[in-house]
Chain A
Amino acid sequence: MAVTSMIGARIQRREDPKLITGHGNFIDDVNLVNMAHMSVVRSPHAHARIRSIDTSAALAAKGVVAVLIAADFKAVIGGPLPVTNSFVPDKKQVPEQFPIAATEAAYAGEPVAVVIAEDRYLADDAAQLVVVDYEPLPAVMDLEKAMEPGSPLVKSDRPDNIGWDAAFPAGDIDAAFAEADVVLKQRIGQQRLFPTAMETRGCVADYIPYDNRCTLWTSTQVPHFIRLFVGGALGVPESQFRVVSHDVGGGFGAKLRPYPEEYLATAASKITERPVKWIEDRTESLQATTQGRGQIFDVEVAAKRDGTLLGLKFTQLLDIGAYHGVFSAFQVVACLLGGGCYDFKAIHARSIGVFTNRMSTDPYRGAGRPEATHLIERIVDIVAREIGMDPAEVRRKNFITTFPHTNNFGLVYDSGEYERSMDRAMANIDYPALRKRQEELRAKGRYTGIGFSTYVEICGVGPSSATAPAAGIALVESSMVRVHPSGSVTVSVGTHAHGQGHETTFAQIVADTLGVPYDSVEIRHGDTGDTPFGYGTYGSRSLAVGGMAIMASCHKVVDKAKKLAAHAFEASEEDIVVDQGRYFVRGNPGEAKVLAELAFASYGAGLPEGMEHGLEAVSYFDPPNFVWPFGCHICAVEVDPETGAVSIDRYVAVDDCGNVINPMVVDGQLHGGIAQGISQALFEEVQYDDETGQMLTGTMLDYLIPTMAEMPHFELDRTVTPSPTNELGVKGVGEAGTIASSIAVINAITDALAPFGIKHVEMPARPDRLWSMIKEARA
């Protein structure tokens, strides 16, 4: 058997044949016999008291099976939606969110009733006939006004609108500022974003009456987590509750929590004794799926004239929305990473979570880390401008250079070579030539700019020592590796995929580690019925945590196979050599057994004394640390000063995610990540009318997801600095592009507008806003 190394190979994805031929199995493709359809009636008001709900006309409509409101669900759903501690275990208040509003709706889009009908057309028809008598209440939309004493309340049973107020002090901040030659302040916004997976959410619930068994098909990143909470609320034990998630059409963080509709559809199935399907339409999704970012940072930096960074103070105001997202406080991680890849003597951060009458925010690709990168990289440029130093040189002067490095907050950066990636990016874009050209063009009245982003990212969540105290749960990961009698291998994992190509990447790892043909390895995920409990896929964790759980099981299998080989060769285990899946006695490679032969033997007769049959292993991997990818992105733009239009001329990225399993997949993750950051910088923005609380960007016509024509060519390159904390030396890559890219674009635009004296640009850098700034600067 010829085994080449699969790890590091660019191989086509095994996921693709079904997807390119229309044979994927997405949530709307799941259909059951006798299935009914659910349509959700949602509050059109940002804040309103529900006086009464008249369901009679809807009930009388054609094809309607049931119309259900909160009172109906109270009897079936045993509790509120979960809220995790994340980085803020001591929240000021954790108001309970029941999956459906009873007497008061606190955001536009909150469910108030559901219609179950024979098909989705009839369900939508009847939903229009549900008459809800609302008494509109004042909507709290502005973060800072919401914090004022005496502000109207997001919900009338709350003491105020503050969800948390947490301080993160590290070092003697006063001393650091006392040393400063310059102290600079900047407010930096992070607009709300729709994560906008192309597949909206949806689920199919099939509750079996009298048996108390349930299967829930749902489009999620976290099937086991859904089972834990939805099953818990419905009183169905995990052993009888199966959550299945086949192909998932993108997630980006917005599918990593249990949602109200998953509870409602499951409960409706129980109540109506029918399988119930709910598919979110896009307009609904823009109201009812969690949003990202929604933050304001007030930042103050202390530095010396020679470019030395000394101290950093900042406050994160985070728009929680009407209720805590399940993981919304995770975004507070921005506070712990505000120092970026630089040495600061002291950092004092504070996070205030504020309720507003909007949909909850929750993690969206990067979750807290794009915000951290954006703020520190903006601040470094502001310092550079103030002291008249090249932004690259300010970075170079302050880079952390020795690893492992313990940051101000005690987090340990595993490995890095920040200067190397910056130098490489500068060489790739030919920085000196670009600066020279900028000067020439400026003389001609053209405005080009160059923006840097040197980032470090925390991912691979996460070690139980860190995640259990902070989040209440230990984000370990699981695997089961089973070698069948004829040698094919089934690997079940607790992670899940929504486009990342795990079936390919994990199979590459297993093929090498077990020394078996790649095609003999099958990866299973997404079905709690045949995978061990796991926490799912987010936080760029699947390889660094889930992949290592697979490695651990593979090692156990190899250990047992060695025992089987020793027994077969009548040799001692110490004398067995394993080389690319061949097991032989040292010095006698000609007489070898492959894993398939040993597997066959493991199910047969004549096993060694005391050995159980079979060849399989289950492992849980608890990583010793997070992993810390890093890199440098440089963007070159031109701004048309008359229209404010921005064009991206070059986008160069040098990323380091440690060792690479499949370079094609890794590059693809970076492309998509970078695109989303660019999109935040230039296009996307959830807009509300602050008076009425109505969403203004309620369709994809108004919420701008860019097309191919708006995206530049991405010039990728990488350095490889393995993580010392795991055997594969891997880090994570799913979020890196997004974490890095928004600020590369914004710094470039700010640089382009420097001749006007413009020092800061907010996102999205809309043409009309840039033009207004230029106009004001010219006046």
Chain B
Amino acid sequence: MTQSVSLTINGRPREDHVEPRLLLVHYLREVAGLTGTHIACDTSQCGACTVLIDGEAVKSCSVFTVQAAGKDVTTIEGLAQEGTLHPVQQAFWNEHGLQCGFCTPGFIMAAAYLLKQNPSPTDAEIERGLEGNLCRCTGYENIKKAVRSASQAMNGGTAETSANLVGSAAAPVEG
């Protein structure tokens, strides 16, 4: 039994009939044909499937498509604008922040979200911001470097290091 669902993907509205159990990640990959979002676990540990819903990073393997009805989804394919790489994409390339590249779209989406929330994160805040993404190739060294470098490129900010590992909310306070 399918249901109608309307949502916007990378700025383009679409409407499809889907089974309620269709995971958003499968919808993106198999219905919308956007295969840049990957799946690497069944239990929401790996973060390879990270996309933005209404600007917020989520794991699209842990969302049913029907739950995303009416929302605005951004995938890795929608990050570069008019042929120009997003600074996070550029930084991953410059700093060798990827090897096999399978986890990379998820990392880039999570990092883009992190830098939007916190333009100049400390190292500890980068670790916290990307704790939900696993990489098996890089040992994370160059991913961290890439996020620092993207931060600088985007904000002219400098990434300071901080030993504060607990309680450093990456999110700004709002009223």
Contact = CB atoms under 8 A, between A and B. Distances in A.
In the complex, are there CB atoms of A and B closer than 8 Å?
yes
Interface of A: 12-13, 15-17, 19-24, 26, 28-29, 121, 196-200, 247-250, 252, 281-283, 498-501, 664-665, 667-669, 671-676, 699-701, 705, 707-709, 711, 713-714, 737
B102 A26 contact: yes
Contacts of A24: 36, 101-102
Contacts of B142: 668, 671
A26 B76 CA distance: 15
Given A22-B35, A198-B134, A200-B40, A714 B101 contact: no
Contact of A197 (B85, B100, B128, B131): B100
Contact of B100 (A21, A198, A282, A671): A198
B128 A250 contact: no
Given A21-B77, A22-B37, A29-B35, A674 B100 contact: no
Contact of B29 (A28, A499, A708): A28
A764 to B, nearest CB: 17
Closest 7 A/B residue pairs (Cβ): A22-B36, A249-B102, A675-B139, A19-B101, A499-B100, A499-B99, A22-B76
B96 A668 contact: yes
Contacts of B71: none
B102 A16 contact: no
A460 B158 CA distance: 42
A366 to B, nearest CB: 14
Contacts of A498: 100
B136 interface: yes
A668 B127 contact: no
A498 B136 CA distance: 12
A247 B35 CA distance: 13
Given A198-B48, A709-B128, A21 B80 contact: yes
B75, B94, B101 pick with most chain A CB within 10 angstroms: B101
A20 B150 CA distance: 14
Contacts of B35: 22, 26, 28-29
B131 A198 contact: no
A282 B101 contact: no
Nearest to A23: B36
Contacts of A12: 93-94, 96
Given A699-B42, A701-B43, A708 B140 contact: yes
Interface size of B as a range: 35 or more
B43 A499 contact: no
A700 B102 contact: no
A247, A248, A668 pick with most chain B CB within 10 angstroms: A668
A501 B41 contact: no
A20, A28, A29, A200 pick with most chain B CB within 10 angstroms: A20
Nearest to A19: B101
Interface string B124-149: 00111011111111111111100000
Interface string B50-76: 000000000000000000000000011
Nearest to B23: A121
A16 B92 contact: yes
Contacts of A676: 136, 139
Contacts of B39: 28, 281
5 contacts: A29-B35, A282-B43, A671-B138, A674-B139, A675-B140
A46 to B, nearest CB: 21
A282 B21 contact: no
Given A29-B35, A499-B100, A499-B137, A282 B41 contact: yes
A22 B77 contact: yes
Contact of A665 (B29, B43, B75, B96): B96
Contact of A198 (B42, B77, B103): B103
Given A21-B36, A199-B40, A711-B139, A16 B101 contact: yes
B101 A672 contact: no
Contact of B141 (A19, A501, A711): A711
Contacts of A200: 40
A249 B43 contact: no
B66 to A, nearest CB: 15
A20 B85 contact: yes
A7 B162 CA distance: 38
B149 to A, nearest CB: 13
A121 B34 CA distance: 19
Contacts of A282: 40-43, 46
Given A26-B102, A707-B131, 19 more contacts: A16-B98, A16-B101, A20-B85, A20-B89, A20-B98, A20-B105, A20-B108, A198-B134, A250-B136, A499-B99, A500-B99, A668-B96, A699-B43, A700-B42, A701-B43, A705-B136, A707-B133, A709-B128, A709-B165
Given A499-B101, A707-B134, A20 B144 contact: no
A197, A500, A709, A714 pick with most chain B CB within 10 angstroms: A709
A283 B102 CA distance: 18
A737 B136 CA distance: 13
A585 B164 CA distance: 67
A668 B134 contact: no
A711 B140 CA distance: 7
B139 A672 contact: yes
A349 B29 CA distance: 52
A46 B89 CA distance: 45
B121 to A, nearest CB: 12
A199 B99 contact: no
A661 to B, nearest CB: 14
B135 to A, nearest CB: 7
Given A12-B94, A499-B100, A281 B42 contact: yes
Contacts of A28: 29, 35, 38-39
Contacts of B131: 707-709
Contact of B38 (A26, A500, A675): A26
Contacts of B135: 198, 708
A395 B80 CA distance: 53
Nearest to B147: A708
A529 to B, nearest CB: 22
B19, B21, B36, B132 pick with most chain A CB within 10 angstroms: B36
Contacts of A708: 126-127, 130-131, 133, 135, 140, 143-144
Given A29-B35, A707-B127, A668 B43 contact: no
A252 B94 CA distance: 24
A440 B165 CA distance: 25
B104 A20 contact: yes
B48 to A, nearest CB: 6
B4 interface: no
B117 interface: no
A700 B36 contact: no
Nearest to B37: A22
A674 B140 CA distance: 11
B161 to A, nearest CB: 10
Contacts of A711: 139-141
A247 B102 CA distance: 9
A121 B79 CA distance: 30
Contact of A17 (B93, B136, B139): B93
B45 interface: yes
A198 B48 CA distance: 8
A290 to B, nearest CB: 16
A699 B101 contact: no
B69 to A, nearest CB: 19
Given A22-B75, A668-B99, A701 B144 contact: no
A298 to B, nearest CB: 32
A665 B22 CA distance: 39
A13, A499, A500, A701 pick with most chain B CB within 10 angstroms: A499
A132 B42 CA distance: 25
Nearest to B77: A22
Nearest to A709: B127
A738 to B, nearest CB: 10
A408 to B, nearest CB: 34
Contacts of B96: 12-13, 664-665, 667-668
Given A22-B34, A22-B35, A15 B144 contact: no
Contact of B136 (A26, A197, A281, A664): A197
